[in-house]
Amino acid sequence: MGPARWLLLGSLLALAGLLEGRLVGQDQGGFGECDKFFYAATPPAGLATESHVKICQRAGGAERFATLYSPRDRIPVYSAFRAARPAQGGAEPGWLLEPQIDDPDSNLDEVIEEAEAITSLKNVGSKQALSTDYLDSDYQRGQLYPFSLSNDLHMATFTLTNSVPMTQSFQERWYMNLNSLMDQALAPHCGSAEDLYILTGAVPSAHRLKDKVTVPEFVWLAACCAVSGGGWAMGFVKHTQGSDIIEDVMVKDLEKLLPLNPQLFQNNCGESEQDTEKMKKILEMVNQVQDEERMVESQGSSVPLSSTRSKRSALLPPEASEEKSSFLGKFLGFIATPFIKLFQLIYYLVVAILKNIFYFLWYITKQVMNGIESCLYRLGSATVSYFVAIGEELVSIPWKVLKVVAKIIRAILRILCCLLKTVCRVLSIPVRVLMDVASFPVYTMGAIPVVCKDIAVGLGGTVSLLFDTAFGTMGGFFQAVFSVFKKIGYKVNFDNSGDL
């Protein structure tokens, strides 16, 4: 090891004294002083088990972030922090260990450098990962809480309790995704960085490094913006195999992907007061980040990775390699380099063409699926409207029947009311009048004979009067005739017999 290396190691050992990593007892419900890194000061419910260790990561006498660590898998379950703008520059620290995880009897309450831990601790590496576990493998120590997002000296994040195995390409993609999401989508839409709560975690797979350190199946990120009246929550997933594009998901869907189906944020990060318009804008920016990553892939992985590495050379963690090439190896490498470069060029051209063809087909398929989805949506909407209309009519039939029955009952009640009124009026007539009305037929039938008698008497008198009138008239006529004959000299004598 060169003098510069020893000097760097000495400076790191000096700075390590500023770092504190405090374990939180399992009898406590939270992370002690590090509860402030969780929304509503409440850690995720359902993720922690009895075998997990809660760590309050401290640096320079202040709390920096919280970690839930799994000694069985030797990787963190998640790290929690509040987003801050990245600090520029920084040293190249070494990796640190939590002394109390492997040696509970240790009186050290500060994180220490690995070289010091080997000589001062018992059972080093029995419950937590070491840098040697990553040697002779294709994996590097990838941080869940990337140092590029920290605003301190970048030291606190360089604990192995904050790291999971990642390939170099995946690690660079992961850091690039986090930086882009934080700079373009999350932080700009959440006011102050103090209001943005971040959880980054890993879900273990069945693969282990040296049968010790578990390789994650996928890593995830959950963000909760606690701005009053304009908050939001969003999740992201990035698989370590088969997919290089980070996926955006709702927090509830992310919880279903995690073991034990936990609740990451209390009250779902104030779900009832979330701002959907901000979430739409964030999704637009996330789509841009995803499109940029697809474009980077379509142009070939080596070019963007090298450019990313050059832009963030101060942000990528150092991975020391002390292998020295022999003169013969360098000579053979010098001769083989042009052929290797030519082969790489052809390979990248073929890969780029295939990727462009794939993305073109993917775009066509997406458009067709969108069209089909739109047609199905319209068909479904029409069907639902049709059935809703039928349902409304069916529901209205009993109501209409009830209205008809109500009208019938009302008519019957009116009739009964009229009858009652009639009865009441009848009952209000005096009893004497009712007796007179009742006796009227009797008096009428008794008066008929008297009336008939009177009529007969009247008719008899009339006939007698007519006879008297007739006889009187004839008598007067004969008397006038006799008077005439007497005056003209005729005398008529009547004897007692009455003969002329």
CA distance 392 to 397: 9
Structure tokens at 278: 């901000």
CA dist 81 → 63, 194, 256, 303 (Å): 10, 10, 22, 32
Q: HSE (CB half, 13 Å, CA atoms) of 291? A: 7
Q: Of 161, 51, 25, 32, which is closest to residue 98 (Cα–Cα)?
A: 161
Query: Which residues make beta-bridge pairs with 97?
Result: 112
Helices (H), 125-275: 168-180, 251-257, 267-270
Structure tokens at 341: 């470069």
pLDDT tens for 403-458 read 999 999 999 999 998 988 888 887 776 767 667 777 777 777 777 888 888 888 88
Amino acid at 244: D
Tell me the DSSP string of 81-94.
Answer: EE--PPPS------
Compute the Cα dihedral for 7, 9, 12, 17 and give only its sign: negative
- End-to-end CA separation in angstroms for the chain: 205
Q: Residue 15, class by beta-carbon neighbours within 10 Å (0-12 exposed, 13-18 middle, 19+ buried)? A: middle
Q: Residue 285, class by beta-carbon neighbours within 10 Å (0-12 exposed, 13-18 middle, 19+ buried)? A: middle
Q: Which helix (H) or strand (E) holds 256?
A: helix 251-257
pLDDT of residue 495: 47
Q: HSE (CB half, 13 Å, CA atoms) of 16? A: 26
Helix (H, G, I), strand (E, B) or coil at 247: strand
CA dist 399 → 133, 152, 394, 402, 403 (Å): 76, 71, 9, 5, 6
Helix (H, G, I), strand (E, B) or coil at 80: strand
Structure tokens at 294: 């697809």
Helices (H), 164-210: 168-180
CA distance 222 to 226: 13
CA distance 217 to 197: 24
Q: Residue 416: CB partners within 8 Å, gap ≥ 6?
A: none
pLDDT of residue 74: 92
pLDDT of residue 110: 63
Positions in the chain short of pLDDT 70 = 1-29, 59, 84-93, 109-110, 149-156, 193, 243-244, 299-334, 429, 431, 433-434, 489-500
pLDDT of residue 238: 92
CA distance 179 to 143: 13
